[in-house]
Amino acid sequence: MALRTLLRTPASLRPLLLQPRSKALYHSNEHPEPPPYREAESAILSSAIKHVPAHGFTQQALTLGAKDVGYLDISTNLFPRGAYDLVLYHLVTQRLALKHRIQFPEGQNIGVGRKVKSLILERLRANIDTGVLPRYQEALGLMSLAENIPSSLRELGLLSDEMWYLAGDTSVDASWYTKRASLSGVYAATEVFQTTVDQSSDMEDTEEFLDRRLEEVRVVGSAVGGFGQWVGFQAGAIVNLARSKGVRI
């Protein structure tokens, strides 16, 4: 997501941008996260997101959401980052909803790789199901702004954490950072492809694109040098693709 930052960083250091500042944490049903938003914030944002298909990720959508739930226009001051707070709400709520959207039957021998692919596709389908996909270029543009890069990267990292946990990989060994960074890169690239290129009826083109990215990770991801080059290449490719489609990154 924070593609300009990735491009401006030496290739050997780019994977570090996706590392957390603290020890890895995995979320689970046994240890649920506290609610990410207060009651008033949640009410306004959950209503505002319904206006995104018609009005985009905009201040207008926030204002309409506030009115829908009986708050004055001034209540949008709860969201100092404006439209980006609406983008972040979508990212956070869909990450938290992922464990409910897809569950893997116990006792079936489904590999971690297949689970990760299913989780990525399910998260991307949420962009369709919520109706925001036609407006998602606006979200990508807001996420790429310098002031929004840190929280965008943090949320991307948390999504990667959640996917690895739901796929059954809870290891915290030396490979954890590489796996986290690789999944973040794959997801970001696939989301840009879904948003700007895919014209297929049921994400078939996006799934094929995802398969190619996952295969690249399998081939080069085990080598530290190769992985760093892969991250740099993917960052550049994503930026060029998005810019060619009019996304301001």
- Alpha carbon dihedral 151, 155, 156, 159, in 10-degree steps, equals 170
Spatial separation of the C-alpha atoms in residues 72 and 92, rounded to whole Å: 25
Q: CA torsion sign, 103 to 20 to 213 to 247?
A: positive
Q: Which residues of the chain have pLDDT under 50?
A: 1-26, 28-30, 222-233
| 3-class state of residue 91 by DSSP | helix
| Nearest-angstrom CA–CA distance, 52 and 87 | 10
pLDDT of residue 34: 72
Give the pLDDT confidence score for residue 225 in this predicted structure.
Answer: 44
Report which of 195, 219, 198, 221 is spatially closest to residue 208, judged by C-alpha positions. 198
Question: Tokens 């464990």 belong to which residue?
Answer: 99
User: 146 and 126 in contact (C-beta within 8 Å)?
Assistant: no
pTM of the model: 0.79
The token duo for 166 is: 């739901």
Dihedral-angle region of residue 236 (phi above 0 means left; psi in -120 to 50 means alpha; beta otherwise): alpha
What's CA 206's distance to the chain center, in Å? 15
What's the CATH fold of domain 3-9+32-244? Answer: Tetracycline Repressor; domain 2 (1.10.357)
Q: How far apart are CA 136 and CA 86, in angstroms?
A: 12
- The distance in angstroms from the start CA to the end CA of the chain is 9
Domain boundaries, the chain: 3-9+32-244
pLDDT at position 153 is 92
Q: What are the φ/ψ torsions at residue 30 (nearest 5 degrees)?
A: -75, -25
pLDDT given at position 181: 86
